[in-house]
Amino acid sequence: MEPRTCVRPGHAASSFERELVEPIEQREVAMAKGSPLGHAHRREDQMRGQARVYWRERGGMKRAYADLRAYADVGGRQEALVAPNERLATTDPAVAQDLLARRIRELDAKRRGRVLHSEGPQVSLADCARDYLLAKAGEINPKTGEPVTEQWMEGEELRLRRTIAHFGQDRPLEAIAVGAAREFDAALRVQGPHWPALSGGTRRQHLNTLGALYRYAAERQLVPPGYNPIAAWRKKPTARRLEARWLEVPDAALLLEAARIHRPAHPEGGRPPITFAYELLATLLFTGGRESEVLGLEVDDVSLERGVMTFRPNAWRRLKTATSHRSVPLWPQLREILKAYFPRREREGGTLLFPSFRTAKEAMITDFRKVLDAIARRAGWAPGEIRSKMFRHTYCAARLQTLDQGAPVSPFTVAREMGHGGTRLVHQVYGHLGTVRHRSKVVEYRVAQHRAKLGDRLKAVRAGTDL
């Protein structure tokens, strides 16, 4: 790129031209090299929204004009882009872009001044929160292509109610700055009249909701562009990063053996017991599926012939993200378990793989913690110590120890089997390295392979005594 020393050839560069041309050259070089400065300029371009440069033929030359009608509330209109000391609109594209940027900054400053000096309508936190929730209720989740869930909406409403309880329903949006957001976070640390003491991760969710509210307000031009106290806060609270609980292969094998031996009680007049705890736990351990994904599986989602199990959306439940629609291997041990289960399942009728007929009508199971506690207690764990989330971590750790055509399996393969679009969560959350190295071609939890390590624990499980 040849340096430009002067906007008007044949003239010495004025102080204005040096101020104008040098930033343009820096901008072009930075964007060409992909530097942080270039990224900042690209973000600035994106923030211009509908403002643009267009060209008109004047006197045999194309001259630059700006369409600033997006700023009509502060005097924006279609106008010529005229450089200082000039009478006509510029013919230089680079100068035109710089003049446009300067004009946008002027109009942004006017808009901020109008809001901060109460020249425009003051929008209260409560009013904006109401409109925000109504708008979100009709939106489509880009990750799933489906409307946002009731559960998500209830969470957003709860967090906004707490926010309004702290700031007051009539608090103007522009009156909440970074300092006020910090005070809100400090209030959430301790028990208040409207909430219990909250952890760092939960407080961050409240701040994220408030930040989303400000993005909505900026989109509606209820606050100045870029006004967001949460985005301006550099070091927000985060959840404590602790390694999630999971089971090593021998422990998972022992738990599965306890589930195989488990015989549910049949209380008189109570809920019908879950008679497929063994098959349910095996499916969770051998697929890494989320609890709702596994509980919503249909019989037709299992193909013994092709050796795959497919997680897909159905009438019983939706999937978390678009990448959650996937097929996973039907590992030999799980295939044996489900093949023996199918004749009994077919006699009951219905479509769900693990149905509940508590109301005499087929439905998804909503809670199986009691049977899980009974099985875990027999294998030596305390009630509440084993939960279904652990099985997703367990599968990932066990799968990472398997071989794929003689080589360690790719983390990307494992990530896709778990319904993730990339490997970040496998590396940072679900991947665990235990003390037992169990390289195998398949995922399996067979107590016979770990008899020596399990020792008396296995004997106690098979004897039917709690450890």
Same domain flag for 276 and 363? yes
The predicted pLDDT at position 267 comes to 63
The predicted pLDDT at position 45 comes to 45
Please check whether residue 1 lies inside any domain of the structure. Answer: no
Residue partners of 426: CB distance under 8 A and separation at least 6: 396, 400, 411, 414, 415, 418, 420
Q: How confident is the model over 100-131, as pLDDT tens digits?
A: 998 888 888 777 665 554 455 578 999 999 99
CB atoms within 10 A of CB 173: 23
Helices (H), 83-233: 93-116, 125-137, 150-167, 178-189, 200-219, 229-232
Residue 340, judged by CB atoms within 10 A of its CB (0-12, 13-18, 19+), counts as exposed
Q: How far is the C-alpha of 29 from the C-alpha of 44, rounded, in Å?
A: 16
Q: How far is the C-alpha of 299 from the C-alpha of 354, rounded, in Å?
A: 9
Q: Which of 76, 94, 116 is the last residue of a domain?
A: 116
Please check whether residue 384 lies inside any domain of the structure. Answer: yes
Q: How far is the C-alpha of 116 from the C-alpha of 118, rounded, in Å?
A: 6
Same domain flag for 129 and 109? no
Q: Give the number of C-alpha atoms closer than 13 A to the C-alpha of residue 401, restricted to the C-beta side.
A: 19
The set of long-range contacts for 359-366, using a CB threshold of 8 Å and a minimum separation of 24, is 364/295, 364/296, 364/316, 364/317, 365/274, 365/295
Closest CA to 414 of 405, 401, 245: 401
Q: How far is the C-alpha of 167 from the C-alpha of 284, rounded, in Å?
A: 44
333 and 446 Cβ atoms separated by less than 8 Å: yes
- CATH number at 358 reads 1.10.443.10
Please give the DSSP secondary-structure letter assigned to residue 450.
G
Please check whether residue 379 lies inside any domain of the structure. Answer: yes
Element holding 397 (H helix, E strand): helix 388-400
Please check whether residue 224 lies inside any domain of the structure. Answer: yes
Percentages (nearest 5) of helix, strand, coil residues in the chain: 50, 10, 40
Please give the DSSP secondary-structure letter assigned to residue 57.
E
291 and 353 Cβ atoms separated by less than 8 Å: no
- Nearest-Å Rg of the Cα atoms of the chain is 31
The predicted pLDDT at position 122 comes to 72
User: Count of domains in the chain?
Assistant: 3
Please check whether residue 239 lies inside any domain of the structure. Answer: no
For the chain, how many residues are written? 467
Same domain flag for 77 and 129? no
Q: Which of 232, 257, 276 is the last residue of a domain?
A: 232
Same domain flag for 73 and 30? yes
The predicted pLDDT at position 272 comes to 78
The predicted pLDDT at position 112 comes to 66
Closest CA to 437 of 246, 254, 248: 248
Please check whether residue 348 lies inside any domain of the structure. Answer: yes
Query: What distance lies between CA 242 and its chain's CA centroid?
Result: 19
- CATH number at 214 reads 1.10.150.130
pLDDT < 50: residue spans in the chain: 1-48, 117-118
Q: How far is the C-alpha of 188 from the C-alpha of 167, rounded, in Å?
A: 12
Query: Looking at this protein, which amino acid is placed at residue 215?
Result: R
pTM: 0.63
* Structural domain range at position 23: 15-116
Name the region of 204 (left: φ>0; alpha: ψ -120 to 50; beta: rest).
alpha
Residue partners of 205: CB distance under 8 A and separation at least 6: 155, 159
Instruction: Output phi, psi for 302, to 5 deg.
Output: -105, 125
The predicted pLDDT at position 433 comes to 87
Q: How far is the C-alpha of 249 from the C-alpha of 443, rounded, in Å?
A: 9
Please check whether residue 359 lies inside any domain of the structure. Answer: yes
Q: How far is the C-alpha of 17 from the C-alpha of 125, rounded, in Å?
A: 46
Same domain flag for 39 and 74? yes
Query: What distance lies between CA 296 and its chain's CA centroid?
Result: 22
As beta bridge partners, residue 99 has none
